[in-house]
Each structure stands twice: as C-alpha cells, then as structure tokens.
C-alpha cells in the first residue's frame, strides 16, 4: 500500500477504506493548491519527493499516531507531480468512535507530515518559479 | 586508505543546481556527510553561502552531519521539506 | 438555504460549495451512525428536530464561528429521519487559507451544534428503542 | 382575568409521552412556561419525577422557565438535545 500517488486523490474512496461500523465520526483533511503564497500569485505547484524515504516516514507517522490514538483508523495519501489551483495535494482520514480523537489524530498526522516527510514543492506563478523554503535559509 | 562508493541523490532545488538526480562518489574512509556537503559547496556557486548542510538522510533515514559514510551508502541532502 | 435535509448527505457537493481558489485546506467532519452506544448494540437511529428553531440555531452558530474565524468558509447540513449504521447524520466543511483555522472552526461548529441545536435521536437496537439523554435526567 | 391562547409543541420523548405533536392551550394571564410544565407533570405519570422542566423555547428561541407567556406564543419544552 503506497502513501504516494501521481494521480488525482479520491478522498471519498479513502474515507470508505477507513470507516468501520463502530466509528461514529470521521475527520477528513485535504491540502489544496491555493492561488497565493506569501503575497505572490500561484498558478501551479510541482511536488517532488524522495519516494522510498517519504513512504517510510509517512508510515512511521501513521504508527506513532495510532500508538497515541489506538481507537482511531487512519488513511493518508500524498499526490506528487504537477498540480493546479484547486487540486488536492494530500488527504488524511481519521475515524473513531468519538470525534475528539478523530480531530486530534488527523491534526497530528498533517502537522508531522509537514514537518519531516521528504517532499518538496516548486511554486509557479506569473513571475517565475521557486522551490518553497530554500531562498534565504542559509 | 580504502576508497568507498557512495550513491548521492539530488532532490528539488539541489537537483536543479546539480543538473542531475544521482551521482556515484568515490570517497576516502572516514568521510562524513558534512564533508560531502563541503565538496558540493566548492563545486556549485549557488551553494557557497550555505555553510551548514540541510537535513541529511543516509539509507533513507535522517542522520547527523558527522555520520561517517560506509561503502554502498545512499546519501541525500534534504532541503527544507514542504509536503502537505 | 436549509441546514436540514431528509435525504442522504452529499459531503462531496458540500465541499465543492465551500472551496474558494484562495483556500489551501479544508476539514470535513461527518458524524456517522455507529453500531454501539454506552455498551448497547445500535441498529438504527431516528433523528427528530424542531425544524425552524434548529435552522435558526445552526445559523447562529455559523455566524458566531465566522465572527471568530473570518477567513474560514463554512457549510453544514444535518440529516433527519431514519438512519442506519454507516449513514452520515451531519457534515461540516471548513475551508481556509491555513489549516489551523479550518480545524478549529470545524471543531467549534460540531461542539456547539451538539450543545444547543434542538435535534433529538431515538436509538433502536435488538432490545428496543430509547430517546438518547432522557432516561435518568430527572 | 384574560384568557390567552398558547401553542404548545411536543418533540421527541415528549411527543411520545403526550401522544401528539401540538396542543392549543388557553392559559390565564401571568402564566409562566414553568406553570405549563407543572400541568404536564400532573397530566402525564411519566413526567411526575421531572420536577425541573427541560430547556424551554418560546417562539423558537431559548427562554427562562419564569418567562411569562403572551397571547399567540409558541411554547416548546426541549428535551436534552442529541444532534450531530
């Protein structure tokens, strides 16, 4: 089961994969390409990844989150390649008997994924393109 | 002194700068990940200002800059991640 | 625009209704009929409402949440009538430039809706049926 | 003393107990929502133990038990809500 895909994300299918009859709630998070970033217009984004390592890192985050919230069922998929405004780059589903754990587990997942998984994005706009986070970090 | 083979992977901005996504290196015994970064700084003007290396992965796991490379290792410098 | 429906909820359409090109994230919450409650087996639920008042109360909650999170776009629909295990009873979408506000606004919505909106449920299981929350409150 | 007409709505468990979803009441001037609850407790054995009324709505807004009813008001007792 891969956490990465080059195709559009089907969040509905992801939800269906996760839900158990004992679940009373699910929280779905989707990250979406927006038309602006730090004051600049964005038209599209290219997502790159160190694929085998990204798979391992996401898997580790799923395991940590599950250890923290044992009642929660999780699914996550991250899309790579060229995306335009409105496209989903990531979808995370957390389902649980009660809503609190579903909210918290979903939030924990996206926060950690953004923090450690080797995925990068190059933003493209009317004034050119740029790898996010690189400029000015030295 | 023994020469070792290390596979160096380039991603994102570093691939653009290096103009390739992979390079086979022959390094001396005792070479650290940081040493490889220094050699890249010498080679590519766009990296000169980056005295500190970005995050480092050895064999698909995060590692310290002082990690000593072993024969057959896969090394990658990880620019600031921006997934999600 | 009604917040109540007697038909199955189309969460996908709800998301589409909310999303703006400036949104970088959305959080979708769905409450789902689960097969158990306080140790008892649940087969189905009948949702009842004081409809005009429920509409007003949900609208007030949408306004409060929007006042608190001005960047967030919201949509919510609650289903009434007979639902079986796995059916969604409520869907809430919160979209925003950044994920934190989307998570918080979505959570605020469901917490307040559960607290004050005049909607009731009668759970049905192998041992009969019961209005949730009534027994033992006197 | 003037008689006023009040529309009393029953929902959920209260509708099951009352066997109807609406009743037109004629009440004396000065009658409060709590007074109406007491009359229901006298009428329905299943409510006898519920000395305190549930939440109260007058004209589709939450109101206090001591709210004095006016002619044409719509009154509803709101059992513990369970939406979501």
pLDDT tens by residue, B13-64? 999 999 999 999 999 999 999 999 999 999 999 999 999 999 999 999 999 9
Q: Are D13 and C121 an interchain contact pair (Cβ–Cβ within 8 Å)? A: no
Report chain D's mean pLDDT, rounded to a whole number. Answer: 96
* pLDDT confidence of residue A132: 95
* pLDDT confidence of residue A138: 57
Q: What is the ipTM of this complex?
A: 0.95
* pLDDT confidence of residue A56: 98
Q: How far is CA A136 from CA A40, A43, A132, C93, in A?
A: 16, 22, 10, 36
Question: What DSSP designation does B68 have?
Answer: B
* pLDDT confidence of residue D3: 86
- Asked whether the predicted pLDDT for residue A45 surpasses 90, the reply is yes
- Asked whether the predicted pLDDT for residue B2 surpasses 90, the reply is no
- Asked whether the predicted pLDDT for residue A1 surpasses 90, the reply is no
Q: Are C22 and A34 an interchain contact pair (Cβ–Cβ within 8 Å)? A: yes
Q: Are B60 and A133 an interchain contact pair (Cβ–Cβ within 8 Å)? A: no
Rounded Cα gap, residues B11 and B20, in angstroms:
9
pLDDT grade for C9, boundaries at 50, 70 and 90: very high
Tokens of C12: 């996908």
Q: Are C34 and A21 an interchain contact pair (Cβ–Cβ within 8 Å)? A: yes
Residue D79 CB contacts under 8 Å (≥ 6 apart), including other chains: C120, C131, C133, C134, D11, D12, D13, D14, D54, D55
Helix or strand holding residue A112 (H, E):
helix A99-116
- Asked whether the predicted pLDDT for residue D1 surpasses 80, the reply is no
- Asked whether the predicted pLDDT for residue C137 surpasses 90, the reply is no
Q: Do chains B and D touch (3 or more CB pairs under 8 A)?
A: no
The model's pTM: 0.96
* pLDDT confidence of residue A137: 63
The DSSP line for C78-136 is EE-EEEETT-EEEEEEEEESSHHHHHHHHHHHHHHHHHHS-EEEEEEETTEEEETTTTT
- Asked whether the predicted pLDDT for residue C125 surpasses 80, the reply is yes
User: Region A75-84: what's the mean pLDDT?
Assistant: 98
Contact (CB, 8 A) for B84 and A30: no
User: Best interface-test mutation with C: which of A17, A19, A25, A91 has the largest number of C CBs within 10 A?
Assistant: A25
Report chain C's mean pLDDT, rounded to a whole number. Answer: 96
User: Region C42-51: what's the mean pLDDT?
Assistant: 98
* pLDDT confidence of residue C124: 97
Rounded Cα gap, residues C44 and C57, in angstroms:
26
Rounded Cα gap, residues B33 and B25, in angstroms:
12
Q: Which has the higher per-residue pLDDT, C38 or C88?
A: C88
B60 in A contact zone (CB under 8 Å): yes
């Amino acid at each position: 089961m891969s956490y990465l895909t080059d195709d559009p994300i089907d969040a509905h299918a992801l939800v269906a994969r996760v839900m158990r009859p004992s679940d009373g709630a699910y929280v779905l998070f989707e990250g979406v390409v927006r038309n602006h970033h730090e004051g600049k217009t964005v038209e599209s984004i290219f997502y790159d990844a160190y694929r085998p390592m990204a798979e391992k890192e996401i898997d580790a985050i799923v395991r940590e989150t599950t250890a923290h919230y044992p009642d929660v069922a999780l699914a996550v998929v991250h899309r790579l390649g060229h995306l335009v405004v409105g496209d989903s780059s990531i979808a995370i589903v957390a389902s649980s008997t009660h809503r609190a754990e579903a909210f918290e587990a979903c939030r924990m997942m996206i926060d950690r994924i953004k923090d450690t998984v080797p995925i990068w994005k190059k933003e493209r706009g009317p004034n050119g393109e740029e790898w996010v986070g690189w400029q000015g970090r030295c | 002194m023994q020469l070792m083979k290390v596979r160096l992977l380039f991603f994102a901005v570093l691939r653009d700068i290096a103009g390739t996504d992979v390079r086979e290196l022959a390094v001396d015994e005792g070479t650290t990940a940081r040493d490889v970064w220094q050699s890249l700084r010498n080679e590519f003007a766009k990296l000169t200002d980056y005295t500190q290396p970005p995050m480092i992965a050895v064999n698909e796991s995060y590692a310290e800059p002082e990690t000593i490379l072993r024969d057959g290792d896969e090394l990658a410098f990880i620019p600031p991640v921006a997934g999600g």
